[in-house]
Amino acid sequence: MEDAVNKKDRTQYYYIWISVLLTFMVLGMFAVLISLVESMEVLEFNLLIPWSMLISTYVFFVSSSVGICAASSLGYVFGMKQYTLVSKRGILLSVIAIIFGMLSLILHLGHPERAMIYTILTPNIHSAMSLMSFFYSLYIPSIIVLYWFLSRADFARLTNSSAGWKRRFYGLMTLGIKSESMESIKRDANMARITGIIAITAGLSAMAVEGSLFGHAEARPYWYGAYTPSYFIFSSVVSGVAWLLFITIATYKVKHEDMPDEVKGLMFEMGRALAVLLSLGLFFMSYKVGAGLLDDTKIDTMMLFVKGPLNISFWLFEILIGVMLPVLILLYSKGRASLNGLLIASAMVIAGLFVSKYDFIVAGQVYPVFKDAAPSLFPTLMEIFVIAGIIAAFFFVYTLAVRFLPLKESSR
């Protein structure tokens, strides 16, 4: 009787969760419609700062996708077998993240078809943006194919054990290869290794080139420099580890399932790695702030963070919530073997990274365009609605994936 009541409660929470996500998605679609009817200006808090929250969200999601892919592929590509436990979940999450990252970019462009057409027809081999598009064009299909190789045997098993529309769906996902033999599974693992190498290479290359896209802009002193590509790659790895921790633990808790000991051990191992990465990140961030305050071309921008309109987002979200508190919580969680601590810390890191991308994108455009910074660099309400809709859609698709796709950890 108690199990039946608990199941009913979980079903109610599930539908409440779906309803909340759909509500935010409708708000996002409403804001997009308003921007098309009125003007794209409703999404811009200042006409002289064309890149704001849509671009920072794009950078955040694609960076997360590459980082998740890199962390998830450690098992198949680098032989760290324990990471095969999260490969399927992680690679699918990286697919979803890159899709909604690109959606954020598309909504900003207004006419994305022009970019797609002319990037293919008239590519500029000397352009960082053209090279970035090439790497993403290689990365996106690679991670999709990688997930298929990781899950093909599961699709075959589900085809044989299902009926009705599910059997037809899973049969379609096998692409006609329905064998569950050890030979076919080993072949899939070998192909996953090859595809994983291609995906990681393309993804990290895309991150480096995207960083150089900002780093080559001499007219934007805050972005300019060799540090920027390194920052993009490093932050993507931090984001990937945080996402894997958060989404894995949260899924188990929401589904009220006991986490296997081997998966739990991996979570704490990743928690230790995240603490180390955050500590290194804090060191480099300190250097960046110190060097910026001593550089005449960057000091005005750095003051936006120190005591300007971005000081709350910097000190509260980037430093305190994004780095310092998570490190303390991760160290505490290691001693107490607390999954809740890992969950909270990883969620805080993700929030901090999301805000840091916004700060990075917006702050770099203020000087030398403006003589004095605006009193507020906060995004518009309509842009917030769009971003809320994109994030809600991201979690909506993942929720459906948890229900219908094979994401269970395995160490084959």
Nearest to 43 by CA among 55, 58, 26, 59: 55
Q: Residue 20: what are its φ and ψ, rounded to 5°?
A: -65, -45
Helix axes 53-72, 87-109, angle to 10 degrees: 160
Task: Name, in order, each residue with C-beta under 8 angstroms of 177's C-beta and a sequence gap of 6 or more.
Answer: 152, 156, 184
In the chain the domains, ranked by start, together with CATH numbers, are 12-404 (1.20.1630.10)
- Quote the CA–CA distance of 144 and 147 in Å, as a whole number: 5
pLDDT tens for the chain, residues 1 to 412: 445 545 655 778 888 999 999 999 999 999 999 988 888 888 888 878 889 999 999 999 999 999 999 999 888 888 888 888 899 999 999 999 999 999 999 998 877 777 777 777 777 777 888 889 889 999 999 999 999 999 998 998 888 888 888 889 998 888 887 777 778 888 888 999 999 999 999 999 999 999 999 988 888 999 998 889 999 999 999 999 999 999 999 999 998 888 899 999 999 999 999 999 999 999 988 988 998 899 888 999 999 999 999 999 999 999 999 999 999 999 888 767 789 999 999 999 999 999 999 999 999 999 988 888 777 899 999 999 999 999 999 999 999 999 999 887 654 4
- Quote the CA–CA distance of 20 and 26 in Å, as a whole number: 10
The two counts, helices (H) then strands (E), for the chain are 15, 0
Q: Is the peptide bond before 379 cis (omega within 30 degrees of 0)?
A: no
